[in-house]
Amino acid sequence: MKNGIIAYSVNKTTDGELYISVQNGEVSVRAPWYATQDKIQKAVMAKRNWIMKKLEEYEDQANISLKPIQILGITYNLKVTYKNIDVIECDLEKNVVKVNLPKKYKKIDHESMTDILIDKLYAKIAEKEMENIMEETRLMVGFAPEDYKIVEMKNVLATCTEDKKILINPRIVKYKREVIEYIVLHEFCHLKYKNHTKSFYNMLEKYMPDYKKYEIKNIKY
């Protein structure tokens, strides 16, 4: 369908009634041999709303992509669909994060669009989770950083700056909450001890005796 015009193919038969079908985005008309073009056109127009609905359903399905993502240690499928809408819609159902995008976003490279969505999703979750975890850690150790910020960083999940601020990568929310709690505590310990000294690890172990099982290999923090 283009510019509201329904394209269709016609298959003439020696018997039977006029029949319209929509399969794989294609409209087909099976008509008896004596059916005129005018009669066929009127039959198509009479079922216009039904045909358009079927074509849109097919187009929606054709524009769906699934991508597994991790949120707090749980695997979800990110389901992206392009629809005739004006604003982005997002919903979480069981193990599926459903995102409906306006069709205008199809102009953007799909992989790039998906990465942008994931980053925004992680940032939103990080804001909520980190507020709670930072406060819980502050109450546990009895002190706090000058400030903390959620900032995108390459190959680093968290870091403690020279001016005693803690920076958190929003992608930290890919991991289980226990892992996040360990990483945050790790950075709190750096507020007292800059390097990984014995005193640093003594403090870490004091507040989290089993911290070693939450360490992530090949990731900086």
The residues of the chain that CATH labels 3.30.2010.10 are: 126-214
The per-residue b/e assignment along 172-188, b for 16 or more CB within 10 angstroms, e otherwise, is bbbbeeebbbbbbbbbb
CA distance 116 to 100: 14
CATH number for the segment(s) 126-214 = 3.30.2010.10
Which residues, in sequence order, are bridge partners of residue 215?
none
Three-point CA angle 164, 170, 175, nearest 5°: 105
Least confident of 56-60, 76-80, 99-103, 181-185: 56-60
The sign one gets for the Cα dihedral 77, 82, 84, 87 is positive
- Please report the pLDDT score of residue 173 as a whole number: 95
CA distance 117 to 67: 11
Question: Does the pLDDT of residue 103 top 60, yes or no?
Answer: yes
Q: Which three-class secondary structure state does DSSP give residue 96?
A: strand
CA distance 134 to 148: 9
CA distance 131 to 195: 26
Q: Which three-class secondary structure state does DSSP give residue 75?
A: strand
- Please report the pLDDT score of residue 170 as a whole number: 96
- Token code pair at residue 112: 């790039």
- Please report the pLDDT score of residue 63 as a whole number: 59
Counting other chains too, the contacts that 2-9 makes at CB distance below 8 Å and 24 or more residues apart are: 6/44, 6/48, 6/51, 6/52, 6/55, 8/44
Question: Does the pLDDT of residue 100 top 90, yes or no?
Answer: no
* Mean pLDDT calculated for residue range 97-122: 82
Question: Does the pLDDT of residue 220 top 60, yes or no?
Answer: yes
Question: Does the pLDDT of residue 148 top 80, yes or no?
Answer: yes
Average pLDDT, the chain: 88
* Mean pLDDT calculated for residue range 144-160: 93
Question: Does the pLDDT of residue 99 top 90, yes or no?
Answer: no
- Please report the pLDDT score of residue 116 as a whole number: 84
- Please report the pLDDT score of residue 25 as a whole number: 76
* Mean pLDDT calculated for residue range 30-38: 91
